[in-house]
């Protein structure tokens, strides 16, 4: 009677490049991802804000750059990025991971890594570091000078595409292991996917639990710069406060929540949605933010379901860990 | 060698499928007269019968509220039979009213007739039960010729023996339910009733080894600070397990049972949709639990299903029999990304959005079903059962484009009739086209029902002896009947002739049956319409036979 799975769900839809973890380009990207020398003061790597044990987030409400400046938004999880059409909380203009990788390297408002200030020094470092002098020519053969920022971005993107989360207890439940998740999580799953109930799946759908769209979840009555969501890029009033739906995979590891990390726990997130948001007068509030009745049992069950999306393999997979000798 | 091995594996898989699906069958319906032999109740051909039922609401003469179908309606009764898979109901009614009010007694008799017609045995349960012998003799006389009723003479005081004697004095020989505290009663046809409880250890089997036992109750009384509620685990899954373990105990010991009551707040949430209550939302003893109850858990037990699994039912009748070429509805973990229907004129595809339906029939052949609609998420999906599937047990699987699937069991039949209602939920006003040939030869057609949004009502049909009135009823699951002789259609208590039947062109999975409304129905009023095809029961819809008297 219970469901089973013929194929590994996520593997069936991810592009092959996403799971080619052994490619030289991805290996190179992994070294770069963990290389603090990429930042202006050699304190910050990509991995500083994207920690494996936190499903590649940083546990902070707002990300902090190399120079100590706070980013207006929190660091997003990097899992299953190969499925994404757009990246970041609200920038619809970035359509590839390669483009996205450049952004933290060179951003100045605020400074994230500050690579712009040490760009030439960093390229020189690549040309003399034995790890990189071995990997760059293999990753980019037939290039007279493979040590370029463009190739750094390509390698980072190749590594990020290998970060796949697809073995949570919930995935195993759908592969036929009826005991993989608790009865509470099973009840929570029903609520999550129940149209006319919480209807969470309306935005958090598909194998990666995101519709890839932008929604105003009535977090604020008025969103102020530079956190006005999609509006920052389109200038349309209807886009005020609209941020991209994040994946819910490993959501238990990625607190605090929302684009600015102002909601501390999963239970508070559920309360937020059950109440239909906290700023009901917001004219741009998404119509899907209808609120719903939620008993204490429902709340506990929904939280149990969300926690069943935590993939222990992801956070312990050595292929994603820091490759540099300690 | 490899081929033999493959064959053996295939056969093992098929056997396993067959055996699992074989559990999915209706509880035996009433087949009286019954008699008690040792600790068993035997039907007219000597088969053992176990009561699997629920208590109804007490009989009243109150009018049914608008938009309601009533707790004692035929729709309620057919839901108990077909959806809950029960085979009996306990009918409480006032003893005084029954004796003193002819309309009330007539209403009791009408409910009994309807329940019997819908394959339910009725346990007549007058209250209070400590009425004088003359009442019991009168009751026995009223129902002595009905082989599919039992009498309940359960009382706090020790009147069971006198009640039994009084019933027998009227010539009524049906089994009588008496309190276990009255054991032994000097009569051969007695069933002993015990109060099932969560708070005490199970001991019913001690008595059940000697005489037939009927366990009643098993409502956890969540709104009370009671020992029963306290004994009921506060975790919904543990509570469901406890209930199921209790029902399995009864099954294992051959104990009849009647659980809870078919009333809003108990087995069902309301008397329009008859939605089963569930335990999932949680409760606190002593606080109003809302729609929390054991309805879905009981249903799952009776269908050998997971309460949170995939259920696939007849698209019109709502039971677990799907007809070849008929409409079906799967509900539960459909998990489509979004709701999708067909475009006007679109032929039903086998993939809609990210889902398909795969039917593996009794021969092990898998086919994709044409799809009509899918809801998004935990929802329902309508499809057509391919005409060429084999009759017998089948596995129905929702297959998603990501490779995941959810599956459940159903029974495919050649004929599994369902009548479509105007509200498309298998109850309420019938969906049908009325045609009247007037004395001057002109013909007038109109719908048998009309809706304003989701609010549907019957249209009075102006019947007259000078007008020939036919109704083309819409439904599904009966296109494979052999002939009109396979059909039995009743409107109220009146059997009506079938003029034609078959697929309805342009409507995938939809059939029509055209009947003539006879003069007996003139002025009959709004009443129930029910159909049996080759003995298989449909759902109950309503039709209004009006006019000229």
Residues forming beta bridges with residue B406, ordered by sequence position: B398
Q: What whole-number distance in Å separates Cα of residue B113 and Cα of residue B109?
A: 6
Backbone phi, psi, residue B408, to 5°: -150, -175
Residue B368 lies in a domain: yes
Q: B228 near B222, Cβ under 8 Å?
A: no
CATH number of the domain where residue B381 is located: 2.60.40
- Return the top range by mean pLDDT from A21-30, A84-93, A275-284, B235-244: B235-244
In this complex, do B378 and A190 lie within 8 Å of one another by their Cβ atoms?
yes
Gap from B268 CA to chain A (nearest CA, Å): 19
- pLDDT given at position A95: 87
Q: What whole-number distance in Å separates Cα of residue B341 and Cα of residue A197?
A: 21
Token pair in block for residue B448: 């048998």
CATH number of the domain where residue B138 is located: 3.20.20.80
Residues B90 and B210 grouped into a single domain: yes
Residues B405 and B453 grouped into a single domain: no
Where a domain ends, among A164, A195, A224? A164
Residue A227 lies in a domain: yes
Residue A183 lies in a domain: yes
- pLDDT given at position B3: 52
- pLDDT given at position B335: 86
Region of B535 (left: φ > 0; alpha: ψ -120 to 50; beta: rest) is: left
Range of the domain at A179: 169-310
Q: What whole-number distance in Å separates Cα of residue B148 and Cα of residue B119?
A: 9
Range of the domain at B70: 22-221+256-262
Average pLDDT over residues A243-254: 97
Residues A38 and A111 grouped into a single domain: yes
Strand residues in B113-209 grouped as ranges (E): 121-127, 149-152, 176-179, 190-196
- Condensed to tens digits (0 to 9), the pLDDT of residues B274-307 reads 999 999 999 999 888 778 999 999 999 998 888 8
Nearest by CB to B305, from A1, A5, A301: name it.
A1
Residues B470 and B500 grouped into a single domain: yes
Q: What whole-number distance in Å separates Cα of residue B264 and Cα of residue B273?
A: 11
Q: Provide CB contacts within 8 A for B508, sequence distance 6+.
A: B327, B347, B348, B370, B372, B384
Residues B381 and B479 grouped into a single domain: no
- DSSP track, B211-249: S-EEEEE----TTS--HHHHHS-SSHHHHHHHHHHHHHH
Residues of B in contact with A4 (CB under 8 A): 405, 407
Residues B61 and B101 grouped into a single domain: yes
Neighbour tally for B441: CB within 10 Å = 6
Residues A31 and A71 grouped into a single domain: yes
Pairing of β B256-261 and β B190-196 = unpaired
Tell me whether A207 touches chain B (CB under 8 Å): yes
Tell me whether B406 touches chain A (CB under 8 Å): yes
Q: What whole-number distance in Å separates Cα of residue A275 and Cα of residue A279?
A: 10
Residue A326 lies in a domain: no
Residues of B in contact with A1 (CB under 8 A): 305-306, 309-310, 407-409
- HSE-CB at A141 with a 13 A cutoff on CA atoms is 2
Q: What whole-number distance in Å separates Cα of residue B525 and Cα of residue B330?
A: 35
Residues A143 and A19 grouped into a single domain: yes
Q: A47 near A33, Cβ under 8 Å?
A: yes
Q: B480 near B324, Cβ under 8 Å?
A: yes
Nearest by CB to B236, from A1, A174, A297: name it.
A297
Best of A171, A191, A194, A195 to mutate (most B CBs within 10 Å, chain B): A195
Tally of domains within chain B: 3
Residue of B414, B405, B243, B265 whose CA lies nearest to B335: B405
Helix residue spans in B101-159 (DSSP H)? 102-117, 133-143
- HSE-CB at A19 with a 13 A cutoff on CA atoms is 11
Banded pLDDT at B80 (limits 50, 70, 90): very high
Token pair in block for residue A304: 């149990």
Residues B395 and B482 grouped into a single domain: no
Nearest by CB to A295, from B282, B376, B405: name it.
B282
Question: Which residue reads 């699987």 in tokens?
Answer: B397
- pLDDT given at position A282: 81
Neighbour tally for B12: CB within 10 Å = 10
Q: What whole-number distance in Å separates Cα of residue B126 and Cα of residue B137?
A: 13
- Give, as one character, the DSSP assignment of residue B80: I
Banded pLDDT at A21 (limits 50, 70, 90): low
Banded pLDDT at B320 (limits 50, 70, 90): confident
- Could you give the C-alpha distances from A10 to A2, B256, B403, in angstroms and in order? 20, 48, 9
Residue A319 lies in a domain: no
Shortest CA distance from B240: residue in chain A: A183
Gap from A5 CA to chain B (nearest CA, Å): 5
CATH number of the domain where residue A194 is located: 1.10.760.10
Residues of B in contact with A205 (CB under 8 A): 337-338, 376-377
- Condensed to tens digits (0 to 9), the pLDDT of residues B158-183 reads 668 899 999 999 999 999 999 998 89
Residues of B in contact with A189 (CB under 8 A): 333, 378
Banded pLDDT at B23 (limits 50, 70, 90): low
Residues A186 and A94 grouped into a single domain: no
User: To the nearest whole number, what is the mean pLDDT of chain B?
Assistant: 91
Q: What whole-number distance in Å separates Cα of residue A188 and Cα of residue B485?
A: 50
Cis peptide before B184 (omega within 30 of 0): yes
Q: What whole-number distance in Å separates Cα of residue B9 and Cα of residue B138?
A: 63
Residues of A in contact with B339 (CB under 8 A): 195
Q: What whole-number distance in Å separates Cα of residue B219 and Cα of residue B236?
A: 14
- Condensed to tens digits (0 to 9), the pLDDT of residues A162-205 reads 999 999 999 999 888 889 999 999 999 999 999 888 889 999 98
Question: Which residue reads 């109750």 in tokens?
Answer: B217
Residues A90 and A154 grouped into a single domain: yes
Residues A198 and A229 grouped into a single domain: yes
Q: What whole-number distance in Å separates Cα of residue B352 and Cα of residue B348?
A: 9
Token pair in block for residue B456: 């549907």
Tally of domains within chain A: 2
Strand residues in chain A grouped as ranges (E): 4-5, 214-215, 243-244
Residue A305 lies in a domain: yes
ipTM of the complex, rounded to two decimals? 0.82
Residue of A188, A143, A197, A179 whose CA lies nearest to A306: A188
Tell me whether B309 touches chain A (CB under 8 Å): yes
């Amino acid at each position: 009677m219970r469901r089973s799975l013929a194929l590994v769900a996520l593997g069936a839809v991810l592009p092959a490049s996403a799971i080619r973890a052994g490619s030289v380009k991805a290996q190179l990207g992994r070294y770069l991802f963990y290389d603090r020398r990429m930042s202006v003061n050699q304190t910050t790597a990509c991995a500083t804000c994207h920690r494996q044990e936190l499903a590649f987030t940083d546990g902070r409400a707002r990300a902090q750059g190399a120079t100590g400046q706070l980013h207006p938004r929190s660091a997003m999880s990097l899992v299953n990025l190969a499925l994404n059409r757009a990246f970041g909380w609200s920038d619809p203009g970035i359509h590839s991971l390669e483009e996205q990788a450049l952004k933290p390297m060179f951003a100045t408002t605020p400074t994230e890594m500050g690579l712009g200030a040490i760009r030439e020094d960093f390229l020189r470092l690549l040309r003399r570091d034995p790890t990189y002098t071995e990997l760059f020519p293999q990753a980019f053969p037939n290039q007279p000078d493979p040590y370029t920022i463009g190739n750094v971005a390509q390698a980072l993107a190749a590594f990020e595409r290998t970060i796949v989360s697809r073995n949570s207890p919930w995935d195993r439940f759908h592969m036929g292991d009826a005991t993989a998740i608790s009865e509470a999580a099973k009840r929570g799953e029903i609520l999550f996917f129940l149209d006319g109930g919480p209807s969470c799946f309306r935005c958090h759908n598909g194998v990666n639990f995101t519709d890839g769209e932008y929604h105003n979840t009535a977090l604020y009555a008025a969103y102020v710069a530079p956190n006005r969501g999609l509006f920052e890029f389109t200038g349309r009033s209807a886009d005020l406060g609209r941020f991209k739906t994040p994946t819910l995979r490993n959501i238990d590891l990625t607190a605090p929540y929302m684009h600015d990390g102002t909601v501390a726990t999963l239970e508070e997130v559920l309360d937020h949605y059950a109440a239909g948001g906290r700023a009901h007068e917001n004219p741009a509030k998404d119509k899907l933010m209808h609120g719903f009745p939620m008993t204490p049992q429902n709340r506990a069950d929904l939280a149990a379901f969300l926690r069943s999306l935590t993939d222990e393999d992801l956070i312990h997979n050595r292929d994603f860990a820091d490759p540099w000798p300690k | 060698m490899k081929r033999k091995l493959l064959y053996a594996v295939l056969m093992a898989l098929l056997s396993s499928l067959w055996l699992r699906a074989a559990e999915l069958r209706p509880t035996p319906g009433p087949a009286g007269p019954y008699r008690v032999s040792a600790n068993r109740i035997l039907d007219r051909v000597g088969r053992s019968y176990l009561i699997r039922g629920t208590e109804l609401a007490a009989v009243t003469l109150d009018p049914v509220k608008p938009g309601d179908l009533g707790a004692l309606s035929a729709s309620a009764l057919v839901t108990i039979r077909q959806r809950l898979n029960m085979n009996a109901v306990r009918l409480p009614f006032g003893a005084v009213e029954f004796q003193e009010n002819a309309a009330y007694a007539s209403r009791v008799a009408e409910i009994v007739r309807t329940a019997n017609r819908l394959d339910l045995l009725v346990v007549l349960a007058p209250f209070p039960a400590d009425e004088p012998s003359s009442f019991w003799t009168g009751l026995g006389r009223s129902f002595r010729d009905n082989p599919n009723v039992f009498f309940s003479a359960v009382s706090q005081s020790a009147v069971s023996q006198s009640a039994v004697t009084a019933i027998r004095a009227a010539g009524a020989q049906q089994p009588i339910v008496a309190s276990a505290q009255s054991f032994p009663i000097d009569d051969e046809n007695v069933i002993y009733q015990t109060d099932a409880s969560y708070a005490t250890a199970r001991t019913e089997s001690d008595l059940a080894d000697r005489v037939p036992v009927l366990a009643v109750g098993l409502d956890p009384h969540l709104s009370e600070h009671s020992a029963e509620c306290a004994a009921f685990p506060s975790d919904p899954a543990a509570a469901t397990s406890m209930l199921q373990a209790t029902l399995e105990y009864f099954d294992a010991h051959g104990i009849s049972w009647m659980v809870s009551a078919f009333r809003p707040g108990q087995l069902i949430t309301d008397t329009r949709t008859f939605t089963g209550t569930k335990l999932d939302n949680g409760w606190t003893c002593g606080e109003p639990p809302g729609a929390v109850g054991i309805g879905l858990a009981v249903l799952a037990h009776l269908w050998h299903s997971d309460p949170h699994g995939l259920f696939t039912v007849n698209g019109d009748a709502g039971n677990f029999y799907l007809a070849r070429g008929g409409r079906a509805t799967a509900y539960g973990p459909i998990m489509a990304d979004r709701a999708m229907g067909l475009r006007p004129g679109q032929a039903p595809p086998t993939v809609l959005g990210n889902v398909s339906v795969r039917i593996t029939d009794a021969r092990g052949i898998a086919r994709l079903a044409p799809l009509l609609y899918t809801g998004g998420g935990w929802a329902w999906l309508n499809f057509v059962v391919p005409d060429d599937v084999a009759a017998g047990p089948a596995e129905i699987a929702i297959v998603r484009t990501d490779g995941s699937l959810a599956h459940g069991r159903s029974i495919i039949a050649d004929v599994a009739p369902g009548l479509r209602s105007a509200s498309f939920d298998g109850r309420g006003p019938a969906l049908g086209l009325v045609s009247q040939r007037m004395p001057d030869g002109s013909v007038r057609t109109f719908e048998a029902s009309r809706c304003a949004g989701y609010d549907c009502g019957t249209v009075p049909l102006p019947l007259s002896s000078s007008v020939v009135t036919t109704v083309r009823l819409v439904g599904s699951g009966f296109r494979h009947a052999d002939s009109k002789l396979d059909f039995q259609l009743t409107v109220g208590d009146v059997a009506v002739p079938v003029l034609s039947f078959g697929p309805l062109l342009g409507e995938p999975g939809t059939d029509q049956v055209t009947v003539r409304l006879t003069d007996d129905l003139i002025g009959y009023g709004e009443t129930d319409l029910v159909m049996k095809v080759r003995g298989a029961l449909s759902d109950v819809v309503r039709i209004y036979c009006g006019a000229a008297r």
